[in-house]
Structures are given as structure tokens and as C-alpha cells.
A and B are shown apart, each in its own frame.
Chain A
Amino acid sequence: MKKQWRLMSNLSSRASLQWLFKMAWRDGKASISRLMLFMASIILGIAAVVSIQLFSENLKQNIKNQSKALMGADFIIDSRQLPSKKVQAIIDSLNVAASEVNFVSMAAFPKNDGTKLVKVRAIEGDFPFYGTLDTEPIIASSQYQKSGGALVDATLMLQFNLIPGDSIKLGKLTFPIIGALKSVPGSTAVSSTVAPPVLIPFRFIDDTELLQLGSRKEYQYFFVATPKTDLELLEKKIDPILDYENADLDTHTSTSERLGRRYDNVSKFLNLAAFIALLLGCVGIASSVHIYIKEKLKNVAVLKCIGATRKQTFLIYLIQIAGIGLIGGIIGSSIGVGLQYAFPYFLKGFLPFDVQISITAQPLIMGILLGVLMSVLFALLPLLGTWYVSPLEVLRGTDENLVKPRKARLFTLAAILLFIFLFSFWLLKDALFGLVFTVGILITFSIMAGMASLFMKVIKKYFPSNWGFTERQSLLNLFRPNNQTMVLILAIGLGTFFISTLYFTKDILLAKTSVENNSENANIILMDVQAEQNEAVVNTVISKGLKVINNIPIVTMRMYQIKDKLVNDIRKDSTSTMNQWILNHEFRVTYRDSLLVSEELLEGVWIKKREPGESILVSISDNIARDADLEIGDQLIFNVQGVLMETSIGSIRKVDWGRMQVNFSVVFPIGVLENAPQFNVVTTNVQNEVNSADLQRDLVKKFPNISVLDLRQMYTIIEDILDKISWIINFMAFFSILTGIIVLIGSVKNSKYQRIKESVLLRTLGAKSKQIIRITALEYVYLGILGSLLGILLSLISSQLLATLLFKEPFIPSVVPFLVFLPGITILVLIIGLSNIRSVLKSPPLEVLRKES
């Protein structure tokens, strides 16, 4: 007999798959309004993830394009000498697209007998391949090669009152000036530019006779990569070979990385926003399904009573939830894609660039998969209830015998945590961060659940029995059976937690961009200021109404001995792995007693001052330590313009080279170099081009030896990027916060079905509208205040941790979440709560019960 039932059971299961879908559809169709709230959470979460992922991809692409524009090519091979056979073979094999030789030389202007140190760039080919030669007139950029003229830096032309048609003499040749050069890729980096650029066609370079043996020059070869080229791999493979031949490979990706930590942080923030938006969606799903399934348990008991198996009843609702997840995922992904296309329309006038939209398949597929996965996973806990509900409930009408399977619940929770970990790992590409995020969410969830539980216990224990009826009823609602305290505090608390965390994080990043965008940053650098000129130069700057931001002493020197080996010996040693640039580089060194904001001490002790008789402890940047294989205590002997100076490494610093300020690889303590031959670098900030030219004219007239470096062009690019970043941070934060608010509305709206029967019963027993409103309002106010306060307080901790560990920026909490989110969310919860019982107040009790059932 038992065998016979097993056989029947199997046959029945096989025959009923179609029926399960049919039942899921029938039941879902009748519950469409409740499921819509559930679907809204999925749609918003997925829309946020997909739009952020796509936008993040597009942003990366746009910034990548800008980094290409800064370089003018995908990658460059450069060398201080004519390439060796080996290097030339590599250049040829990589299919060079353009080349140049550049060097610093004096230029003369016959028009007014002026002279100026310039950087001559002799170019062959259609350089640049990204970005543009911005010239005045525009046509000059395409004519200079053909007509054999020169493009001269625009500020330089202003300084010397030059106009197109005038001439410039470089060595033995005089070139007609075809146009003013406003910007050119490759002429923005501080390290390579100490003189304004002048572009000439390469074919005239020999006739200038400026390329003498031994003169300081640089050969550059520009390449355009195919879309499939892995630049990182290329750099990894070829750079060591080139290094050995005294050449170097630079990719545009490494240039964009050098734009600094700002970009990294924005990328991290966008991923955080996506992560939070999705988690908000999950909170919405969990709270909606919890209440939805609770309502369905009676149906499950009836189905079991009339012969449905546990598997069948479980599958009916699993199919329903997965189906909603699939539809939500598709709609959410479509909205995410739609938002991409809508961005350029919304952003007209806001964004300083045209967004190039392209849709990649990965975020779309992920969006749909995530929709199904997050729905099923976060619905699984309440769904488990359908498996264990007893058919006896039909007769008894209570769920007191409902088994709560510990193992299955733990398994589900573990699966949820794994999902969060994998999702954060996918976004952050860092297992440790993913783990920290997951544990952080678990701790936050536990604290909230613990606080909600404690809250209920405290109210129960210290219940104010002498309060009035409505006040007591509202408090009773918080802990009696069928209460919604835990679910709503978790939903409101987690929702507020995510919203506030995002708000605080947004502040952390925007504070940084605004600090860097002010007039405290130097945009004019005056080089080669001799010691005896220093005071007069400073006075000239001040007389123009400008502020001297830095006045930095610089001593030039070269490495003479590294550890116990002479540099000359290392050069000859074919087994040496030391990076060649260290051996040949002329270091510009300063001395000071403190670290800059762009520096971070990694190892050793920062020495402020060297007392007489003590050894000299210098600080080196981490890239020197890496390239020369140096450690704390290692000996370095410098050749300071003929004098050997023995030092030891006292500290190693991390330097943010991307910051627009004068940074140094080697820093001496005070009390060593004061009497060495030196010059100063003076920095200031000018408002505009005219002020810049005015200052430069004055300085060149009084101090012809001084080179003036104008960083404003570089700043314009950086400011453009920062503007984009600020806008995107604000937009994404706003989008995720909106998601959170809608999820909150959904969660509280769903709680309607918990309270409607009680309210109708009270109405039946004669309660006045005012009493029902008061009971409901107080309950939602308690839940709103506790949930949002918990969320904001915990977000302070999470934001501090994010600031310290992820963004590495200081965190100063804003009061906005306390002043706006706390009352705002409480009022929102109250309004939705009251709207839930509107039908009870307006219609007869029986009508409400019929309608709501």
C-alpha cells in the first residue's frame, strides 16, 4: 500500500508542473496590487544597479577617453636617446602611428627681439589621435605640417605680443607662426614641461641644428591600440625590456590612474550606490513577501488539506515570486537602460561634456538574473513557512503549531549572506572589501533586530497601565501577537541606514572636490628663481594682488652611490635589476620640516631637522624605494653639484603625484642644504588668462631667467572631470535615496493587511474615527522614530568606517540626516500608516472586510 502511494505521488508530481504555473498565475492575478508593491522594490533596485553599472561603464569610458586626450594616443614609447636596435624593432612591430622629438631650447622673436626658453616639439604624423590641437585660428592645427610653420603657445604669444604671421627663430631656422597653441596633448604634465610648447614639423629638425650630441632631448613614439589590446598586459610584458634599453612605455590607462584617488573614490562610490540600491530593493522584497506569505499560509493549509503536497504548495509561491522577480528584473533593466538614454536630455546645460552612451550586455543580464535571484533568496525565509504549515490550521485557525525549522532558516540566511558577498565582490572586485561589507550588513541587521526585540520587551515590562485607551492600544500593538514591530523597524531602520550612509558618503567625496577646486591651489609655477631674486619675485607677485602659495627651495643632485655600489658600476652591471631612470635622473630635491597633504608616511620616522654632527636622514618616495630596491637605513650618496653628500634613508613616503602641486621624490631635513647652490619655485593662483599674461610679462622683463609654468589648462581638464564627478555623485545618491523612500512606502503600505482587521473590529465595537486614527498614528510614529533613529546612528558608524577604510578621507558628519531624514521618514511612515486605514474610516466594516479579503 505504501509503495502504491509513493508511485501515485510521483506520477502526480510529474503531471502537475503545468498546474503549478497555472495556480501561481491564478493566485498572483488576484493579489496583483500586493505583488505590485513587491515588484516595485525589485524594479527600483535593479533599475538603480543597471543604470549605475551602465553609467559607471560610460563614465569610465569618458574619463578613459579624456586620459587618451591628455596623452594623444593609447600608449607611448619614449627614450632619452635614439632607440637601440631592440627598441626600434619593438616600435616597428607595434606599428607606430606618429613620432616626435622634443627638447628645451631658447627661442627668439625677431619682431621684438624677445627670447624665451621653450619646449620644441618636432612632430611627424597625424598626432594627436585623441583630443585635439586647440589652436587659434582653428585651421592652423591642420596646416602647420603642410605649410612648414610653427604653432606657438598662446600665453607666450600674449607675453611677446605675437600674432599669426610673425616669426619665431629656433636654432638656425626661422619659422612663420601659423597659429596660437591653446592646448596640446602631452604638454600638460608638470614633470615634462618647464617651458611653453612650440610645435614644428619633424622634417625641419636637422636644419635647425639644435639636436646636438649630448643635448637633453626626448624621443616619443605614439601608438593607437586596437580595441582588443590589453594595455596593462602590454605594459607588463614590454616595459621591463624597454627599461633595460633606457626606454619606457606609458599607457593612457596609467595616465588616468595618475589622475589620482579622486577617480577611484568615485568608482567606489558608484559601486556603493549600486550595492545600497540593490540592498534597499532586497529590504523591500523581504518585508513585502514576509507579510504577503503570512497572509497566504491559510490558503496553503487548505491546499494541503485537499491533497496538495508540501513541494507543490511551496513551488506555487516560489514560481510566483520568481516570476515577479523575472518581470521586475526585465522592467528594472529596461528602466536602467532608458535612464542612460534619458541622461543626455536631463543633463543639457549641466554636464560639461557630451555623454557617449553605449549599452553593454553584462549589466543587463546581471540585472535580470539579480531580479530573480534576489526575489527568491529574500523571499525564501517566509516561503519556508509554506513548507512547514500544517493542514490542521484549516480546522484550528491559528499558526501556533507552525514549525520554525532552524536548519532550513540558517541555510537560507547563509545563502543570503553569500549572495551579498558575491554581489559586493562583483561590484568591488575585492574579496576583503566584499567580506567586510557583508559582515557589516550582518552586524547592522543584528543590532537592529536586537534593538527591536529589546524595545518590545521593555514596553511589555514597563507597560504604562494607567495610560488612556488609545495610547495603551497603540503600545499594545507594538508587542502583542501579530505585531509588525520587528518587520517595520528592520525595513525602516535598514532603509534609513542605507539612505543616510549614502548621504554621508556623498558629503565625504563632494567635500574633497570642493576643497581642491578653490583659489588656494597654485595654477602658476615660477621656476628657477635664484636665491638673490627670491624677495623681488615675491614682491612682484604680491604687487599684482596675488598671494604667494608656496616658496620652495630646490637643489638639483644625482645619485652617486646606492647602498655599497657606485652608480657607474651599477650601470655596467648587466645583472642589475635596478630601474635605469634612477641612475640617470637629475633629482630636484627640497628640504622642509613637515609632510604635505599629498604625502603619507609609509615607513620610518619623519626627521624635521638635522642637528650638527648627526647623520643625514632623508625621506624618499615609495616609487624610488621600489625601483631602486631601497629600505629604511640604506645608504645613499648624492652628488650635489660636485660635492658628495652621504645620507641614509630615514623614511619612505607615499606621494599622490596626481595632485596639482609641486611634489618631490627626495626630501631633506632642515639644516643640511641651506647653503647649497639652489633656486626656488614660487607658486601663486591667477584668476584668468589676462592676469596670467600680465604677471608673466612683468616677470620676464625683470627676471629673464625665470621660467613661468601656467597650469590653468591642466586645471581646466581636472575641473571638468570634477564637475562631472560631483554631478554624478549627487544624481546617483538622489536616485538611491529615492529608491529607499519608495521601498519604505512599499513596506509600510504592505503592513496595511496586518492592521485592517483589527481596525475594522474596533470600528464594529464602536470606536470613533478619532480613536482609530490616534491608535494607528501613535504606533507608526513609534516605529518611524525608532527605526529611522537607529538607521541614522548606525550609518554614522558605517560612514566613519567607509571614510577611513575605503575612501581614506576625513569624515565630518552633516546634521541633515538628523534634521531632515529623521522627521521626514517618521512623517512619511505616519502618512502611509494613516492612509492604510482610510477605508476603515470611510466605509462600513463589513464592506471593508469583503473588499480587503
Chain B
Amino acid sequence: MTKILNIHELEKTYTSGSKKLTVLSNISFEVEKGSTFSIVGPSGSGKTTLLGLCAGLDHPSNGTIELCGSKLEDLNEDERAQLRNKKVGFIFQNFQLLPTLTALENVIVPLELQGNKNAAKMGMELLQKVGLADRFHHYPSQLSGGEQQRVALARAFSNKPSILFADEPTGNLDEETGEKVIQLLFQLNKEAGTTLVIITHDLDLANRTQQILRLKGGKIMSNEKTMEINE
């Protein structure tokens, strides 16, 4: 199968004064196009740093990242932003909706960035899918946490991404709401045929993906296919 994400001997270090702190070292793995993939590990294991690097939000100290066929080290900041806009979707633990924009405006931002003229219509369809069509004109502060995350889901899928990165998507939600959001996430993912990369503490959630990468102390502990795949 085609590889959509190819990480090779990745290393990330931070320098603080004379001290050098290695957050990630010798990280290599691949993610197949259309698959579901999870990265798990305790706090401080380097999960979020790895996600940032994979999505081109940060620069590695060493190693290479190939995302959607592009070598990230060859691209400048704006080219990376364009790559994200065309090929990548994001879901964050804190939802990260723009507080000054309505639900619909939040959803259509990636489409408008592409110059899509049907952005509003497509945005409404996505809000319909996540069950929030009647709340399209509400600002994030007028929505509950679960509703905000559903708007974030609609936004993440709005640009029909090839790969979707989800950082602790249920971390700020209660169990029941979290479950609904996850079901919606998998459902939308299946419909769109998107590659899904999830960072989570939740092993049950990780087990619903096709492959799990375990991190500890900035190193890969294991990288295995899961036995059980939730449909």
C-alpha cells in the first residue's frame, strides 16, 4: 500500500542554556494511506512533539519527514501551510475554534483559504452531518464542549484531507460525549477515506485503530498492528 507518512530517524532536541534536552530520538515509522494509526504513551513521552513534527508545525533536529509525498524539509513555512491546507486536517484536545467566528465560519475557513466558492454550502452540509446545522450562527462560547468538538470535526473534514491528525480528541470531554465524538470521527473518516492519526492516553480508543505506536522517554517502545479493528 502507498505510504502517506514516512518518518525516518527523527530526532528533536531543545537547548536550554548549556543543557541539551532530547525529546525524541531515532524515531522511524510509516503510516499507510487510508489506515487508522494511534500514538500512545505517558505524559512527557514526546507524543505531542511527534504530532507537531509529522504535521509540519515544527522542525526536527535530525531525520526526515515525508508527508503526502512531500519532503517537509524542502518546504518553507508558507509551503507547509499550503500543504496543511490542501492535505491535512486537525482535531485538538482544546477544540481550538476561533472564538470570534461563528460555527459555520469556523468550518469553512480551510475552504475559503483554498478560494472555494461553495464554501458556505459545503460547510452547512458538514454541520448537518455533525448534527449542528441549526447552530451554524452560534459563536464557540455559546456551544458546549461536545458541540465545539463536533464543529472542530466538521472543520477538520471540510478540506477533504488526505490525513487527519487528532490530538487527544476526547481529552476535554466526558465519557459519554467523548464516545459520541469518537463514533462520529470514525464514521466521517470512513466516509471520506482519510488516514487518521490519533494521539491518545486512552488505550481503548487506540485499540480501535489499525496500528499503535508506543512511545516512552522519546523513544519508540513498539509499533504493532492491532488485533481488533473497530468498524
B114 adjacent to chain A (CB < 8 Å)? yes
A302-B98, A307-B159 known; A8-B58 Cβ under 8 A = no
Distance, CA A397 to CA B57, complexed state (A): 13
Residues of chain B in range 42-86 having any CB-CB distance to chain A below 8 Å: 48, 51-52, 55, 57-58, 69-71, 74-75, 77-79, 81-86
B-facing mask of A281-320, CB < 8 A → 1, else 0? Answer: 0000000000000000011001111111111100000000
- With contacts A2-B75, A9-B79, A26-B101 taken as known, whether A19 is within 8 angstroms of B155 at the C-beta atoms is no
Contact status B83-A5, CB under 8 Å = yes
Complex interface bits, A811-852 against B, C-beta within 8 A gives 1, otherwise 0: 000000000000000000000000000000000000000110
Q: Which residues of A contact B83 (CB under 8 A)?
A: 5, 307
Annotate B93-136 by CB proximity to A: 1 below 8 A, 0 otherwise.
01011111100010001101111000000000000000000000
Nearest Cβ distance between residue B129 and chain A, in whole angstroms?
A: 18
Residues of chain A with a CB closer than 8 A to B96's CB = 298, 302, 305, 394
Within the assembled complex, what's the spacing in Å between the Cα atoms of A394 and B88? 15
Using a Cβ–Cβ cut-off of 8 Å, how many residues does chain A contribute to the interface with B?
41
B37 at the interface (CB under 8 A from A): no
Q: Which residues of A contact B113 (CB under 8 A)?
A: 12, 16, 19, 306-308, 312
B167 within 8 A of A: yes
In the assembled complex, the Cα of A474 lies from the Cα of B132 at a distance in Å of 44
How many angstroms between the C-alpha atoms of A189 and B83 in the bound complex? 82
Cβ contact within 8 Å between A391 and B57: yes
Within 8 A of B (CB), among A1-43: 1-2, 5-6, 8-9, 11-12, 15-16, 19, 22-23, 26-27, 29-31
Given the known interface contacts A27-B101, A306-B109, the answer about A16 and B84 at a Cβ–Cβ threshold of 8 Å is no
Q: Which of B57, B78, B101, B141 contacts A9 (CB 8 A)?
A: B78
Cα A306 to Cα B57 in complex, Å, equals: 10
Residues on B with beta carbons closer than 8 Å to the beta carbon of A307? 81-86, 88, 110, 113, 159
In the assembled complex, A53 has its CB within 8 A of some CB on chain B: no
Distance in angstroms between the alpha carbons of A759 and B77 in the assembled complex: 37
Closest residue to A397 on the B side, CB-wise? B94
A707 within 8 A of B: no
| B141–A850 touching, CB < 8 Å | yes
Partner of B79, one of A6, A19, A26, A850: A6
Q: Determine whether the beta carbon of A16 is less than 8 Å from that of B75.
A: no
Task: Give the residues in chain B near A851, CB-CB below 8 Å.
Answer: 141
Q: How many residues of B contact A (CB 8 A)?
A: 43
Q: Which of A299, A311, A395 contacts B48 (CB 8 A)?
A: A395
Q: Output the least CB separation between B103 and chain A (Å).
A: 13
A16 to B101, CA, bound (A): 18
Is the CB–CB distance between B115 and A5 below 8 Å? Answer: no
Q: Any chain B CB within 8 A of the CB of A408?
A: no
The smallest C-beta distance from A387 to any residue of chain B, in angstroms, reads 10
- B112 touching A16, Cβ below 8 Å: yes
Whether A395 and B57, one on each chain, are in contact in the complex, defined by CB atoms closer than 8 angstroms, is: yes
Whether A392 is near chain B, meaning CB under 8 Å from some CB there, is: yes
Task: Given A307-B110, A307-B113, A395-B92, decide whether A26 and B78 contact each other with a Cβ distance below 8 A.
Answer: no
CA distance A310 to B96 in the complex (A): 18
A392 touches B58 (CB 8 A): yes
Within the complex, what minimum Cβ distance (angstroms) separates A852 from chain B? 9
Verify A30–B86 contact, CB threshold 8 A. no
Asked if B98 and A27 sit within 8 Å, CB to CB, the answer is yes
A395-413 Cβ-contact flags toward B at 8 Å (1 or 0): 1110000000000000000
Task: Tell me whether B186 is interfacial, beta carbon within 8 Å.
Answer: no
Collect the chain B residues with CB atoms within 8 Å of residue A394's CB.
57, 90, 92, 96
Question: Which residues of A have CB within 8 Å of B84?
Answer: 305-307
Query: Which of B79, B85, B92 is close to A308, meaning CB atoms less than 8 Å apart?
Result: B85
Minimum CB distance partner of B53 in chain A: A392
Determine the residue in chain A with the shortest Cβ distance to B116: A15
Chain A residues, CB < 8 A from B85: 12, 306-308
Residues of A within 8 A of B159 (CB): 306-307
Total contacts A-B at CB 8 Å: 118
> Are B81 and A853 interface neighbours, CB within 8 A?
no
Query: How far does the Cβ of B72 sit from chain A's closest Cβ, in whole Å?
Result: 11
Bound Cα distance A731, B78 (Å): 53
Q: Which residues of B contact A390 (CB under 8 A)?
A: 57-58
**Complex alpha-carbon distance, A394 and B83, angstroms:** 18
| Contact among A30, A302, A309, A311 with B139 in the assembled complex (CB-CB below 8 Å) | A30
Residue of chain B at shortest CB distance from A387: B77
Task: Please pick, from B75, B110, B139, B140, the residue contacting A306 in the complex, using a CB distance under 8 A.
Answer: B110
B151 to chain A minimum Cβ distance, whole angstroms, is 13
Give Cα A586–Cα B85 distance, bound, in whole angstroms. Answer: 91
B82 contacts A299, C-beta separation under 8 Å = no
**A12 / chain B contacts, CB cutoff of 8 Å:** 82, 85, 113-115
Alpha-carbon distance between A310 and B76 when the two chains are bound, in angstroms? 11
> What's the nearest-Cβ distance from chain B to residue A38, in Å?
15
Minimum Cβ distance to chain B for residue A300 (Å): 10
Q: In the complex, A396→B51 CA distance in Å?
A: 11
Contact across chains for A30 and B101 when beta carbons are under 8 A apart: yes
In this complex, what residue of A is CB-closest to B113?
A307
- Cα distance, A392 to B141, chains bound together (Å): 23
A304 and B101 within 8 A (CB): no
- The docked-state distance in angstroms from the alpha carbon of A853 to that of B51 is 27
Q: Whole-angstrom distance between the alpha carbons of A311 and B77 in the complex?
A: 10
Q: How far is the CA of A169 from the CA of B69 in the complex (A)?
A: 114
Q: Which residues of B contact A305 (CB under 8 A)?
A: 55, 57, 84, 90, 96
In the complex, what residue of chain A is closest to B93 when comparing beta carbons? A395
The closest CB in chain B to the CB of A307 belongs to B85
Across-interface contacts of A19 in B (CB, < 8 A): 112-113, 115
**What CA separation (Å) do A390 and B34 show in the bound complex?**
29
Residues of A with C-beta under 8 A to B98: 27, 299, 302-303
B58 surroundings in chain A (CB, below 8 A) = 390, 392
A305–B48 CA distance with the chains assembled, in angstroms: 14
Contact B100 A31 (CB under 8 A): yes
In Å, the complex CA distance between A27 and B101 comes to 6
Residues in B neighbouring A312, C-beta threshold 8 A: 113
Query: Chain B's nearest CB lies how many Å from the CB of A76?
Result: 68
User: Distance (Å) between the CB of B89 and the closest chain A CB?
Assistant: 8
Nearest A residue to B90, CB-CB: A305
When chains A and B are docked, how far (Å) is the Cα of A8 from the Cα of B83? 9
- How many Å lie between the Cα of A306 and that of B82 in the bound state? 9
Query: A12 to B96, alpha carbons, bound, how many Å?
Result: 24
What is the minimal beta-carbon distance from A286 to any residue of chain B, in angstroms? 22
Beta-carbon contact of B79 and A2 below 8 Å: yes
- Please give, as numbers and ranges, the residues of chain A lying within 8 Å of B141 by CB-CB distance: 850-851, 853
**Nearest Cβ on chain A to B146's Cβ, whole angstroms:** 15
Query: Bound state CA distance, A27 and B113, in angstroms?
Result: 15
Q: B74: nearest residue on chain A (CB-CB)?
A: A2
* Complex partner residue of B105 from A26, A303, A391, A853, CB under 8 angstroms: A26
- Residues of B contacting A299 with CB < 8 Å? 98-100
**Shortest distance in angstroms between B167's beta carbon and chain A's nearest beta carbon?**
6
On chain A, the residues within 8 Å of B57 by CB distance are 305, 390-392, 394-395
Known contacts A299-B99, A396-B48; decide if A5 and B110 are in contact (CB<8 Å): no
Give CA–CA (A308, B97) in the complex, Å.
14
Please pick, from B74, B81, B99, B114, the residue contacting A30 in the complex, using a CB distance under 8 A.
B99
Q: Which residues of chain B (134-188) have a CB below 8 Å from chain A?
A: 139-141, 155, 159, 167
Chain A positions within 8 Å of B75 at CB level: 2, 5
- Complex contacts, A22 vs chain B, CB 8 Å: 112
Q: Which residues of B contact A5 (CB under 8 A)?
A: 70, 75, 79, 82-83
- For A1, the chain B residues whose CB sits under 8 A away are 69-71, 74
Q: Which 10 A-B pairs have the closest CB atoms?
A: A307-B85, A15-B115, A30-B100, A309-B78, A5-B79, A27-B100, A307-B84, A392-B57, A391-B57, A9-B82
- 11 more contacts with CB within 8 A, not counting A5-B82, A12-B113, A309-B82, are A2-B70, A8-B82, A8-B86, A16-B113, A305-B55, A307-B83, A307-B113, A391-B81, A396-B48, A850-B141, A853-B99
Q: List 14 A-B contacts (CB under 8 A).
A: A2-B79, A5-B79, A9-B78, A11-B115, A12-B115, A19-B112, A302-B97, A306-B84, A307-B85, A307-B159, A308-B113, A309-B78, A311-B78, A395-B51
